[in-house]
């Protein structure tokens, strides 16, 4: 008799993510999907053509494990121009299969069983499982309410001799807030003299609004010396399905990162790397991004202001958070219940902020994604005006 052997799950508490659940619900009810964070518009045709040219030129076999040299050089040049820190493209830049693989590989490179890793909640839902897969223990510290900035005294209190790393994220998902320079400098000062490493998730680095600057960990020498800085071409160039990102880190950290990377994915799609290297030569392709998304943010916020939803500030990313406690029909609903109701009854899908916490609180907050066509956003706003 055939029988599948039983296994002990490495992630026994992990099920289907809320993103998949809400997307499926949106499809089932024909709702406008402002839940999952990806664009519904195409990338620049010039980028697609650059990839086509790379394919036609024969760039279809394995590239170097660390990434195509031209792309690594372009990344290093961009980071030096923007953040003033020079990374060696040969020894300190690695091209990855998206940012999530970069985060996992960084954790696998540095975390040993029993090590502690501090995450700041609310946070991207992949952080905790990745730490657990590395054998680490997740230590959760809440960000300051409303501002979603780091609570330095709380982080200091969470540091122990077992702390191996701190994971940070700005511009911040899901809140849409950004951290000012004083917060990054304070983190640098706090960690000075410790052996704590930093994994800095900066995938929304080019989506910062109202003339503000993105404060990369690379800007601060004390942080740059202990940080894996992670970013994503998928987010920047509207090609999330390509799954191409990168990590910048000091040579000693990169050497350990690449040991994991080479036995994890080994390398990343060759023609896309060549196409991105060509496209990255023109700085306007990322320097124009804040204005592009700010127009969408402003239009979306103007429409939401006509509803009973209370808007939270949005300084970066392509996410807008709202408080629904003023919506009488949703009174008493928990955030996930409210998102289901919005999808089924109003026709707009969102994500509950409670999904970004291990232990949800009493906040009545949900997140919309405005990385959508203008007509998609208008359709959603027309429906939300019923609130």
Question: What domains can be seen in the chain, in order of their start residue?
Answer: 18-43+287-384 (3.90.1150.10), 45-284 (3.40.640.10)
pTM for the full predicted model: 0.96
Mean pLDDT in each 10-residue stretch from start to end of the chain (387 residues)?
91 86 92 93 97 98 98 98 98 98 98 97 95 98 95 98 98 98 98 97 98 98 98 97 97 98 96 98 96 98 97 98 94 93 96 92 92 97 94
Any alpha helices (H) in 57-160, and if so which ranges?
Answer: 69-83, 99-110, 127-133, 152-158
Tens digits of residue pLDDT in 333-374: 999 999 999 999 999 999 999 999 998 777 899 999 999 999
What is d(CA 105, CA 221) in angstroms, rounded to the nearest whole number?
23
Give me the pLDDT at residue 13, please: 87
pLDDT digits (tens, 9 = 90+) for 109-163: 999 999 999 999 999 999 999 999 999 999 999 999 989 999 999 999 999 999 9
Give per-residue pLDDT as tens, 260-271: 999 999 999 999
Q: What is the pLDDT of residue 203?
A: 98
pLDDT at 14: 87
Residue 135: per-residue pLDDT = 97
The Cα diameter of the chain in Å comes to 67
Q: Report pLDDT for 305.
A: 97
Q: What is the DSSP code (8-state) at residue 361?
A: -
Average pLDDT for the chain: 96
d(CA 196, CA 2): 49
End-to-end Cα separation, the chain, in angstroms: 58
Q: Helices 69-83 and 270-279, interaxial angle, to 10°?
A: 40
What does 315-360 look like in DSSP terms, one character per residue?
-BTTEEEEE-TT-GGGTT--HHHHHHHIIIIISEE-EEGGGG-SS-
Q: How far apart are CA 87 and CA 235, in angstroms?
A: 22
Listed residue (34, 109, 96, 28) closest to 67, CA to CA: 96
d(CA 51, CA 121): 38
Residues 365 and 311 sit within 8 Å (Cβ to Cβ): no
């Amino acid at each position: 008799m055939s029988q599948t052997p039983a296994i002990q799950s490495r992630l026994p508490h992990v099920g289907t993510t809320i993103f998949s659940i809400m997307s499926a619900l949106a499809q089932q009810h024909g709702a406008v999907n402002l839940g999952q964070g990806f664009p519904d518009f195409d990338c620049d045709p010039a980028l697609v053509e650059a990839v086509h040219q790379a394919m036609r030129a024969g760039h279809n076999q394995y590239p170097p494990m660390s990434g195509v040299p031209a792309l690594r050089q372009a990344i290093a040049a961009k980071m030096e121009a923007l953040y003033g820190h020079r990374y060696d493209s040969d020894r300190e830049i690695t091209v990855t299969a998206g940012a999530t693989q970069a985060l996992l590989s960084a954790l696998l490179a540095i975390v040993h069983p029993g090590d502690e890793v501090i995450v700041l909640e609310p946070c991207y839902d992949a952080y905790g499982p990745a730490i657990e897969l590395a054998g680490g223990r997740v230590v959760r510290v809440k960000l300051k309410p409303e501002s979603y900035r780091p609570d330095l005294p709380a982080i200091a209190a969470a540091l122990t001799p077992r702390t191996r790393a701190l994971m940070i994220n700005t511009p911040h998902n899901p809140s849409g807030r950004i951290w000012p320079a004083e917060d990054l400098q304070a983190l640098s000062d706090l960690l000075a003299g410790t052996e704590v490493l930093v994994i800095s998730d900066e995938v929304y680095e080019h989506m910062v609004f109202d003339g503000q600057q993105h404060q990369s960990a690379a800007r601060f020498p004390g942080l740059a010396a202990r940080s894996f800085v992670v970013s994503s071409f998928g987010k920047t160039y509207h090609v999330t399905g390509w799954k191409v990102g990168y990590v910048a880190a000091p040579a000693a950290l990169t050497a350990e990162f690449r040991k994991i990377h080479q036995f994890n994915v080994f390398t990343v799609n060759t023609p896309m790397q060549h196409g991105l290297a060509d496209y990255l030569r023109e700085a306007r392709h990322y320097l124009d991004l804040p204005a592009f998304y700010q127009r969408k943010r402003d239009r979306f916020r103007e429409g939401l202001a006509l509803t009973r939803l209370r808007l939270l500030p949005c300084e970066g990313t392509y996410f807008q958070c709202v408080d629904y406690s003023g919506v009488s029909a949703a009174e008493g609903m928990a955030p996930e219940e409210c998102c289901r109701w919005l999808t089924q009854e109003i026709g707009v899908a969102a994500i509950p902020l409670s999904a970004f916490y291990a232990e949800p609180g009493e906040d009545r907050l949900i997140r919309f994604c405005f990385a959508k066509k203008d007509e998609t956003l208008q359709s959603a706003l027309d429906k939300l005006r019923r609130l």
